[in-house]
Structure 1
Amino acid sequence: MAKVYKTLITAADRFVPSKLRPLWEHEAGPKTIFFWAPAFKWSLVIAGLGDLNRPVENLSIPQSVSLAATGIIWSRYSLVIIPKNYSLFAVNVFVALTSLYQIGRAVRHQQSAKTSGGK
């Protein structure tokens, strides 16, 4: 698999414009896992944004707490590793924010259910 990836990168290398060359050659650029891991992690953010319309009674607080915790932890980690990975930082901030928002929705729902004597 590494040979296939290396062949693709070498082939694409010829087509990278000079203005994008610094990004392409960066220590955390598209030639490394430091670029692709955060790129694919955006799918978690997209799923979290899709869940904003989910009925509040169907939210999982433990799942949201774990996503928020990992978002916060990895946000910090992305700024202390070398090279600093700002794309990893950005995606994890968004994972944490969407999860914290969902936690807030779920907690508010539980509190209103307790005060109204409902579920």
Structure 2
Amino acid sequence: MLPIVQKIFYPGVAPYLQSKVLSYPLPEKLKGLIAHPAGPFTIHFYAPAFKWCISIANLADINRPTDRMSLSQQFAVACTGLIWSRYSMVITPVNYNLLSVNFVMAITGIYQIGRIGHATWFKTSNK
């Protein structure tokens, strides 16, 4: 069964669809976007797009009581944001969408850690 699956999906569905879309008469700027190495037919486009959900969820928790927040989760969010912000500038193609989403993740994670730390050290409840 593997040869059948390999024949269907190798070299990939995305390159096939990309070539079909590029065969249509489109403006050159749109063709440039579609053909870009971090364009909409690659994981480099969709991974940051879906990762924005994590950043938006963290922004939605800005007013959440600190006793209902997880320090380890916020630490993971902040570290992930910092590490992947750096990595997004090293990989080829440089992915500014990945940089921005991870920068926002790092900032919101650090802010939430600060809120948790402030509430813990000063024994205040942010309700």
Say whether 1:108 aligns with 2:121.
Answer: no
Report the secondary structure of 1:29's partner residue. coil
Q: Aligned partners of 1:24, 1:61: CA distance in 2, in Å?
A: 40
Say whether 1:81 aligns with 2:91.
Answer: yes
RMSD: 1.9
Q: Aligned partners of 1:16, 1:57: CA distance in 2, in Å?
A: 53
Name the structure 2 match of 1:30.
40
> Larger C-alpha radius of gyration, 1 or 2?
2
Alignment partner of 1:50 out of 60, 74, 81: 60
Report the secondary structure of 1:107's partner residue. helix
Q: Aligned partners of 1:32, 1:78: CA distance in 2, in Å?
A: 15
Q: Which letter does structure 2 place at the counterpart of 1:69?
A: C
- Aligned identity (percent) is 45
Contact 1:34–1:85 (8 Å) recurs in 2: yes
Q: Deviations over 1:32-82 (max 9, x none)?
A: 111111111111111111111211111111100011001100010110111
Q: Point out where structure 2 has 5 or more consecutive residues left out of the alignment.
A: 1-8
Structure 1 residues 15 and 38: alpha-carbon distance in aligned structure 2, compared to 1, 3 A threshold: farther
What's the TM-score, normalizing by structure 1?
0.83
Structure 1 residues 81 and 6: alpha-carbon distance in aligned structure 2, compared to 1, 3 A threshold: closer
Q: Which 4+ stretches in 1 moved above 6 angstroms?
A: none
Structure 1 residues 78 and 98: alpha-carbon distance in aligned structure 2, compared to 1, 3 A threshold: same
Q: Point out where structure 1 has 5 or more consecutive residues left out of the alignment.
A: none
What's the TM-score, normalizing by structure 2?
0.78
